[in-house]
Structure 1
Amino acid sequence: MRRILRLTALRVRRQFLDWSGTWWFTITLVANESLVPLAGLFVWSAVFPGDPRVVSYFAALIAVQIMTASYENHTFSETVYQGTVSHELLRPQPVVIGPIGENLAIRLWMTLFGLPPAVLAGFLLGATYRPADLLLALPALAGAAVLRFLYTWILALTAFWTERVHAVVTFGGMLMALLGGAVAPVSLLPGPWRTVAQALPFHAMLGLPADIATGAVTGPAAVAALGRGLAWIAAFTVLAAVVWRSGARRYTVVGA
């Protein structure tokens, strides 16, 4: 385990340095991740004018989007299409270390560029949070980061079977936005729909940290939501391992 952690840290450092010269592209990624929450902010502010909870929720959601962004359909799937994943398969280490390292490096840069403007925008728009809620939102944010990586990684692994992996990941992203709280806060959905949305993994990937930060989900409900997120992380970890083994086996059998 110590060796895995050391290799991951080295990969993060290397990718962090590699991305240091692409600050302009990082800003583009930050802007792209902010578009849907900003659209939701404008729409729901019109529906509930003067409601500070709407501003606080979407300001928090922008931060969550930026800090949990995953792009494995670009950083990993392209190595499958180009055949360079063969080099990773020959290394005496898990292949997933590379995607994890690049994922963390990209998120670090996006946080550095995107979080300060998000915090400033929330302050100017009147977003308010209680310190206790923000602290409770931190484990939800960590869980969302892990879950969103696993989700995107699983979708990116479809590159072993199809050349349309970007369409697959885009569709998966649309599901996450629709059911995860980016288009409409899950806490504002009608009772039955809210129950379904909270049970699915998408809320834990995106809206849950923002809901907890704004106090929309507190106490036992927050603990239960965090538990559901951990359960989905465990399920996605197993699924990712199964899909990876199947995809790698297919890749090597066809002689790529």
Structure 2
Amino acid sequence: MNIVFTPYGWEWRIKRGDLSASLLRPIHPLHQDLAYFGGWKLVVIVLWLPIAAILAFIFQPTLNPTPLEIGVFAVAIWGAYLIRSMFLWLLGMITFWTTRVSALYELYFAVELLLSGRLVPMSLLPPWARDLAMFMPFQWTFGFPIEALVGTLSTTELLTGLAIQVLWILIGLGLVQLVWRAGVRRYGAVGG
């Protein structure tokens, strides 16, 4: 669910001149990316459900989420997608000023792996790392949706988590708008 347009794609867009064509369209490229990957996710979910049913039958997990937890998970996974999209778009837009963003993306990805609950569950991190993660967007893209479904969070924590996701979406969207305006002014078409 959290596969989004990566900074590598930005390098490719600019080098090939595809961004120039996107700028001529009446829709913002961000909307195009969100719609493309969002639509693709709906197809993947439908294709994944039979596999999930077979795996659940084979391994019989002890997962008993309440309807509230299932609902929060369904909303949180899309919130996670939006947060991750905004922040990887921000990182990708660095290519307006440089031709390569891969080293920065690898550093970002390493920090994301460690502080999101993706590589190591948040509960296993040292207290200082959990505290740091609380003030960064990473936990809200992987750890929170998983914890919402596993059923370890109270109703207050579930609703607070959704509110924090909305906050990170708004912060990311605001930053994308600022960087987009500055970057498009700086953009010089190449390739294509």
**TM-score, normalised on structure 2?**
0.84
1:250 aligns with 2:171: no
Show the 5 A alignment for 1:1-256: 67-127=1-61, 128-132=63-67, 133-251=69-187, 254=188, 256=190
Distance in 2 between residues matched to 1:177 and 1:118, nearest whole Å: 24
**Can you give the 5+ residue segments of structure 2 that lack an aligned partner in the other structure?**
none
- Rounded to whole Å, the distance in 2 between the matches of 1:171 and 1:123 is 39
Q: Is the CA contact (8 Å cut-off) linking 2:140 and 2:161 kept in structure 1?
A: yes
Deviations 1:69-125 (A, max 9, x none): 113334444121112211221223323232223222332343344454345334533
Which runs of 5 or more structure 1 residues have no equivalent in the other structure?
1-66
Cα root mean square deviation, aligned: 2.2
3-state SS, counterpart of residue 29 of structure 2: coil
Structure with the bigger RCO (C-alpha within 8 Å, sep 6+) is: 2
Q: 1:97 to 1:140 in 2, by over 3 A?
A: closer
Q: Structure 1 residues 249, 116: closer, same or farther in 2, change over 3 A?
A: farther
Q: Which amino acid aligns with 2:65?
A: R
Amino acid paired to 2:59: L
Q: How many Å separate the matches in 2 of 1:78 and 1:247?
A: 16
Distance in 2 of aligned mates of 1:115 and 1:73: 29
| Residues paired across the two proteins, number | 188
Going from structure 1 to structure 2, the CA distance change for 1:183 and 1:241 (only over 3 Å counts) comes to: same
Moved over 6 A (4+): none
Matches of 1:162 and 1:145 in 2, distance apart? Answer: 26
1:122 and 1:172 mapped to 2: Cα distance? 33
Q: Please give the per-residue CA displacement for 1:46-85, whole angstroms capped at 9, x wherever unaligned.
A: xxxxxxxxxxxxxxxxxxxxx1211333444412111221
Q: Is the 8 A contact 2:83 2:141 kept in 1?
A: yes
Q: Deviations over 1:13-36 (max 9, x none)?
A: xxxxxxxxxxxxxxxxxxxxxxxx
* Shift in Å, 1:179: 0.4
AA of the residue aligned to 1:105: G
